[in-house]
Amino acid sequence: MLICEKIAEIRDFVRKRKGQGKTVGFVPTMGYLHRGHTALVERARGECGAVVASIFVNPLQFGPKEDFAEYPRDFDRDRRMLEEYGVDALFYPSVGEMYPCGFCTHVEVPGLAGCLCGRSRPGHFRGVATVVTKLFNIVQPDRAYFGQKDAQQVLVIKKMVEDLNMPVEIVAVPTVREEDGLAMSSRNVYLSPDQRAEAPVLYRSLQEAARVAAGGERDARRLVEMVRDRLSRVNGASIDYVEIRSLPDLKETERLDSPALLALAVRFGKTRLIDNIVLEV
Ligand code: PAF
């Protein structure tokens, strides 16, 4: 696996592979990889002639009081995993390479970025949209792979790609879970043993609501209340949000007339976990 720290190097790699007629699949990450990431790589490997991954902990998408400095990092382990899963080239830029002195352009998708995680993390999706635009411009992939666990991120990126006519197909890959249902996340390592034991309640409460919706409940408020009620009884958990929003535009929804996103964010101490499920009607 080729490791490129410089934009010019990864561009050169992609240009050569495209010259050989290969489609390029791209898996952008912030590292500290888990099975959620390797599922993205496996999907890209199955669908594309060449696979590029990136590891870049993007300072732009962290708020001033968030965990940028403490975000878990383990480059050697990540590099080995990506190599094992068949990634052809890894783009591993420094902050200076991505945001040289004087950098000042940002990309915003305000319609979708102001609710759910965007409300509790102002500026987060602006940082994501900006770095993903840069990564797409640098790598110029044919397809890019993102986890459905970050459902709002996927919708923001799809809208940005559509609005700005970016020539890349966005592929959303189903959430990978631990055996007890907890969604894989690099932040799960922050959980204490007690918090880890409680955390599967997030997915269980989403599944319960999905079952009730499938059984005919159409009142979004009642479904949200059900989930909130379940979560509020969990020791040490504090609800950031539980909401049902329309797809793909994330508008507030009172009645379920078409598939909708039930999404939540819950804090266990300092660790904020997110999860979601699509309510089929
Ligand atoms: O989902 C992530 O890991 C990040 O938000 C992404 C897409 C790599 C952008 O920094």
User: Ligand 1: which of 38, 91, 150, 173 to mutate, most ligand atoms within 8 Å of CB?
Assistant: 150
User: Ligand 1: which of 128, 133, 185, 274 to mutate, most ligand atoms within 8 Å of CB?
Assistant: 128
Cα 134 to Cα 79, 179, 264, distances in angstroms = 22, 36, 29
Predicted pLDDT at 281: 87
Q: Whose CA is nearest to atom 2 of ligand 1?
A: 29
For 120-166, the pLDDT digits (tens) are 999 999 999 999 999 999 999 999 999 999 999 999 999 999 999 99
d(CA 188, CA 77): 17
pTM for the model stands at: 0.97
Is the per-residue pLDDT at 238 higher than 90? yes
DSSP assignment, residue 233?
Answer: T
Residue 225: CB partners within 8 Å, gap ≥ 6?
none
Q: Exposed, middle or buried by CB within 10 Å (0-12, 13-18, 19+), for 76?
A: exposed
Which H or E element spans position 263? Answer: strand 260-268
Residue ranges and CATH numbers for the domains of the chain are 2-173 (3.40.50.620), 186-279 (3.30.1300.10)
Cα 268 to Cα 197, 199, 277, distances in angstroms = 11, 8, 20
